[in-house]
Amino acid sequence: MLGREVVAAAAERGLDCVGLAHGELDITDAAAVRRAIREHLPQAIVNCAGWTDVDSAEGREDEALVLNRDGPALLGGEAAAVGARLVHVSTDYVFDGSAKRPYVESDPTGPSTTYGRTKLAGERVALASSPRHAVVRTSWIFGIGRSNFVTFVLEQAAAGRPIRAFTDQFGCPTYSVHVAEKLVDLAVVERGGIFHEAGSGHCSRMEFARAILAQAGVEGEIVPALRASLPAPRPAWSVLASERDPQPLPSWREGLAAFLALRGAAP
């Protein structure tokens, strides 16, 4: 979902971009990573790969670490060896969710899930490889090409099934096209460190579900739910803001409208 938008955003700018899917490059295979980087000699690498299933990561931390920590370590080290920059995608789940205001880049982390811990480990090894590398934390991504919360809501509504949505989880829904453009920005501009890039504004999952149905013009039954019903805990508050980027992403409502328009036009 995100990788295809990065390739598209790079192409729109006339950049020479090679997109390698999982079947073409396993980022946990040291020999394959070294071979791919030596073959293409990139100026920048954008890593959109990762273990993103929050629930399945619980109880499988060693496995999740291989993809979320060891993969970025390999990419970061090999990128630095050829003078390339790594732009690594991370998550709002590196925070514990106890804040009362949006999290900025300098706020202390404290993940409460296996997924969050392994993603934080990936951030650290990526940044340790070179001061030129960048980490982009984003939140609640939706877009074309993969199931996500927006498609879940619309599919449930179309099937006449109730839509469970949390009233006690708040974040920043982010359109994949918008964050992909920021990833390409960081790939071509010399700025290292951590960046928060998420849809402007915030909402609960319940509010998000209501907005999806309203903007799509469809009827659906939304059933209030609580985070405690999930196998893995989610941070109650993972709203992101940036103290480093003076140009935030468009609002999540604008991103939702753009996605629904594109989804409606897609074959």
Angle at 39 between CA 37 and CA 44, to 5 degrees: 40
The four Cα atoms 250, 253, 256, 261 give a dihedral, to 10 degrees, of -90
What are the C-alpha distances in Å from 183 to residues 46, 60, 84, 170, 250? 7, 29, 15, 24, 15
Q: In 119-264, at which residue ranges do the beta strands (DSSP E only) sit?
A: 134-138, 141-142, 163-166, 170-171, 174-175, 193-196, 203-204, 222-225
Active site residues: 115
3-state secondary structure of 249: coil
Cβ neighbors of 206 (< 8 A, separation 6 or more) are 165, 166, 167, 222, 224
What are the C-alpha distances in Å from 238 to residues 124, 135, 137, 182, 249? 20, 17, 11, 20, 16
- From CA 187, how far away is CA 122, in angstroms rounded? 18
Classify residue 134 as exposed, middle or buried by CB count within 10 Å of its CB (0-12, 13-18, 19+). Answer: buried
